[in-house]
Chain A
Amino acid sequence: NAGVMQNPRHLVRRRGQEARLRCSPMKGHSHVYWYRQLPEEGLKFMVYLQKENIIDESGMPKERFSAEFPKEGPSILRIQQVVRGDSAAYFCASSPGVNTEAFFGQGTRLTVV
C-alpha cells in the first residue's frame, strides 16, 4: 500500500508564475489535508477536502490560493502569481475518516526566485 504521494518534490518558480502541487492520498483514504511549513516553523493547516468538496478552508490565504480534490485524480493546491513569501514546504496528509490517524507525504518544497 503506497503512502501519500506528492509531486513534484522540489519546485522553483519565478515571481508572478503559477505553482501547482499534486497529492495522491493513500488507497482507501477519502480525506485530504494541506499544510504549509515556513522555515524554522511548525506546520500550519491550510485546507481540508473530501472528494469534490472543500470542507474547511479556514487556513487558506484569501487570494491567489485554491485547492481541489476532483472525483478522479489527485488533489491539487494551486498558487497563482507566486511571491517570495510563498516559499515554503507544502505537505499533504490523508486519512480514512475524521479524527483517524493522518499520514503525510514527503512534501513539495517551493522556492520562489
Chain B
Amino acid sequence: DQQVKQNSPSLSVQEGRISILNCDYTNSMFDYFLWYKKYPAEGPTFLISISSIKDKNEDGRFTVFLNKSAKHLSLHIVPSQPGDSAVYFCAASAEDSNYQLIWGAGTKLIIKP
C-alpha cells in the first residue's frame, strides 16, 4: 500500500509559468513533509519542507502548501526555469518512525523553452 502518492508521472510547463507538483498521503501520523529534486545519476537534493503544524512554507521560487484535511500537499515553482527540469520526489516522515522517509514515485518536470 503506497502511503505517499504522486499520481502524475510527468509534467510539462512553459518556461516562466508556474509549475505545480502534487502529492497525496494516507498516513495521518506523518508530521513532516519534504520535497526533493533529482537529476539523472545524482542523489536527491533537498528543496523545501513543511511541518504538519503549518499550511504553507515559502523559500524563494518554491512554495509548499499542505492541506491536512485532504492529506494533500503541493509544490509550486514560480517562475519555472529550464534548470528546474528534473524528477521531483515528495517524501513524508513521522517522529515515531525515527523520521524514516516514505517516498512518492516521483514526477518528472519538463520545462519547455
Are A and B a genuine interacting pair, yes or no? no
- The interface of chain B, by Cβ under 8 A from chain A, is none
Q: Which A positions have Cβ atoms within 8 angstroms of B? A: none
